[in-house]
């Protein structure tokens, strides 16, 4: 999950590592949260979701999974550290 929701507050979490955007926002300030994260160097892009995410086409019914049903997040959130290219640490030869 890339947008953490807790007690009416929202916080962005990186999809590539355990980092999260340091600020939390009220639900009505969602657009402000996205603008602030982008200004801080976060990359937020729309994902290409699969057409059929379960096995209904193969087995005739959806798989049974414990816990609440979650919809896939339509956007990907990546922190500045994950966006930075890896620094070379010398040659292998």
pLDDT in tens, the chain (93 residues): 478 888 889 999 888 888 888 899 999 999 999 999 999 999 888 877 666 666 666 666 666 667 776 666 778 878 888 887 767 666 666
- Whether 56 is in a domain gets the answer no
- Whether 91 is in a domain gets the answer no
Q: Which domain holds residue 16?
A: 3-50+68-83
- Whether 90 is in a domain gets the answer no
- Whether 63 is in a domain gets the answer no
Q: How many domains does the chain have?
A: 1
- Whether 18 is in a domain gets the answer yes
Torsion angle, alpha carbons of 81, 32, 69, 1, to 10: 10
pTM reported for the whole predicted model: 0.61
- Whether 74 is in a domain gets the answer yes
């Amino acid at each position: 999950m890339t947008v953490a929701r807790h007690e009416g507050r929202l916080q962005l979490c990186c999809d590539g590592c355990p980092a999260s955007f340091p600020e939390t926002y009220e639900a009505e300030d969602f657009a402000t949260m996205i603008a602030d994260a982008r200004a801080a160097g976060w990359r937020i892009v729309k994902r290409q979701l699969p057409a059929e995410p379960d096995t209904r086409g193969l087995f005739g019914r959806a798989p049974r999974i414990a816990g609440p049903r979650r919809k896939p997040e339509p956007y990907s959130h990546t922190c500045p550290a994950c966006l930075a290219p890896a620094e070379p640490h010398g040659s292998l030869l």
